[in-house]
Structure 1
Amino acid sequence: MTDTLLHLLTNREALTKDQLDQFVQAQWQRGNHFDHVPLDVLPDYKNFESFSWEKIDCMLTKIVKQQADGLSFGFDMFPPKSAAKGDMHVHPLSSRLIAVLEGYGTAIVQTCSGKMAKKEVGPGDIILFPHATPHCFWGAEEEPMVVEVLLGPYVPFEHPLHTISPNRAKRINLAFPELFQPCEVQELDSLASRVVELQKQGLIELEENHVMDWGDEFIYESGGLEAEAN
């Protein structure tokens, strides 16, 4: 897998959402949910300081590039384990390819067999999984962990299907499987409207997204609050 993965990462400028989705799905089905690459094929997140960190869920995030087809590139920063552990969750609409850039932590992801795989990860480690796959991450004891994320597509935090707990996702998928299909970026708004209507009818129930009280120091350092004030 590594040779193919290296080709994908070194040619990311030509990558499409469909290619990412197909690659992630194929490798995950082969049991290749973890891998490792040299750091020199990965970007330096410090070169993107003009993009502010945003607090969502249990992490900080910044999206630095979005293509017309929905494929997006960004960075996430996970808190130290002593601050909080990320809960197990799923992203119903988008696949993920995640590369650890800095720090150490723990990754847990559901494999194609249905079992959960756990790995202590560090710089150069890769974690990938298709849409609607249960997973979670957290940083090591003292320092945060920074990762690059390739998303197919990027789903805004405020979208009702951004993040769902595994048990609730399973129930919704059984009742409304059309909501958990691979998604094109132009379908996001109509899916959101569909979910809102089902909620109004009392047919589905979603958790409220919470923003963790962590990461303000990194937002200040990047000038995020100053940018918001302007």
Structure 2
Amino acid sequence: MSANLTNLLANRGDLTRAELDKFVLSQWQQGNHFLRVPTHVLPNHNEFESVAWEKIDCMLTKIVMQKADGLSFGFDMFPPKSAAKGDVHVHPLSSRLISVLEGFGTAIVKTCKGKMAKKEVGPGDVILFPHATPHCFWGAEDEPMVVEVLLGPYVPFEHPLHTVCPKNAKKIAEAHPELFAPCDVNELELVASKVIALQNQGALELDEHQVMEWGDEYICNLGEIEVE
């Protein structure tokens, strides 16, 4: 199992979105939501400094590659626990395979048995889960935590179903299960238009996307923005 994951990450360039989704779902269903890999198969995020960090939700993020099938590769940076803690949330339309590259932190993910599993994680730890699975992360006390994230697919932050709180996600999944079905990347706009139409009718309630006041110092250190 770990050898399969190591092989998958060592050959991530040849990976397809369908293969990622199948692997993530099968491992998660077997209770393998927390795994480990040798750190030598993980990338160095500093090699992608030409791609700017963006402030998203409770973290900084950068997408460094997107494939035609929607499979995307990127990096997230979570703030120190003393600065902020991410709330439990779901991504209705995309699966995740997350590998810790630097720093230490805490990962919480809902298991296939319906319980919330919690683990202190560091370099080499992997967290994976299919779409619409409640989860959250936060960094350790003194330094942020940097992870690589494989997304199947990448869903833009502006999309109404990028992030949803578990309470609203459950209501939407019960009333409109078709909105939470895995979709092709070229169907994302259609799903968004359906969600917006339901919102306008008052038939669907979503959370406002919040961006926390954190991360400017890390972006500024790279010369990517000026902070007054």
Shorter-chain TM range is over 0.9
* SS of residue paired to 1:225: coil
Instruction: Name the aligned partner's letter for residue 71 of structure 1.
Output: L
**Counterpart in 2 of 1:189?**
189
Q: CA RMSD in A?
A: 0.7
Matched, 1:35 2:35: yes
1:174 and 1:188 map into 2 onto residues whose CA distance is 20
Instruction: Name the aligned partner's letter for residue 123 of structure 2.
Output: P
2:51 and 2:172 map into 1 onto residues whose CA distance is 35
1:13 and 1:122 map into 2 onto residues whose CA distance is 24
- Deviation per residue, 1:5-32 (Å, 9 max, x gap): 0110011111000000000000000000
Segments ≥4 residues shifted beyond 2 Å:
221-226
Measured after TM superposition, the shift of residue 223 of structure 1 is 2.9
**Counterpart in 2 of 1:170?**
170
- Deviation per residue, 1:166-203 (Å, 9 max, x gap): 01100010000000011210110000000000000000
2:224 and 2:55 map into 1 onto residues whose CA distance is 11
1:117 and 1:139 map into 2 onto residues whose CA distance is 17
CA contact (8 A) 1:72 1:150 kept: yes
**Counterpart in 2 of 1:132?**
132
**Counterpart in 1 of 2:107?**
107
Instruction: Name the aligned partner's letter for residue 71 of structure 2.
Output: L
2:8 and 2:54 map into 1 onto residues whose CA distance is 27
Measured after TM superposition, the shift of residue 224 of structure 1 is 2.4
Instruction: Name the aligned partner's letter for residue 117 of structure 1.
Output: A
| Percentage of pairs with the same residue | 72
- Deviation per residue, 1:132-178 (Å, 9 max, x gap): 00000000011100000000000000000000000110001000000
Matched, 1:6 2:36: no
2:30 and 2:219 map into 1 onto residues whose CA distance is 39
1:62 and 1:224 map into 2 onto residues whose CA distance is 12
CA contact (8 A) 1:87 1:136 kept: yes
CA contact (8 A) 1:52 1:223 kept: no
2:61 and 2:174 map into 1 onto residues whose CA distance is 31
Instruction: Name the aligned partner's letter for residue 106 of structure 1.
Output: T
1:117 and 1:136 map into 2 onto residues whose CA distance is 11
**Counterpart in 2 of 1:48?**
48
**Counterpart in 1 of 2:15?**
15
- Deviation per residue, 1:92-111 (Å, 9 max, x gap): 00000000000000000000
CA contact (8 A) 1:50 1:222 kept: no
Measured after TM superposition, the shift of residue 220 of structure 1 is 1.4
Q: Any gaps of 5 or more consecutive residues in structure 2?
A: none
Measured after TM superposition, the shift of residue 221 of structure 1 is 2.2
Measured after TM superposition, the shift of residue 130 of structure 1 is 0.1
2:35 and 2:166 map into 1 onto residues whose CA distance is 24
* SS of residue paired to 1:193: helix
**Counterpart in 2 of 1:161?**
161
Instruction: Name the aligned partner's letter for residue 215 of structure 1.
Output: G
Q: How many residues of Structure 1 are paired with residues of Structure 2 in the alignment?
A: 226
**Counterpart in 2 of 1:180?**
180
Q: What is the TM-score normalised by the length of structure 2?
A: 0.98
**Counterpart in 2 of 1:215?**
215
CA contact (8 A) 1:101 1:147 kept: yes
Q: What is the TM-score normalised by the length of structure 1?
A: 0.97
Q: Any gaps of 5 or more consecutive residues in structure 1?
A: none
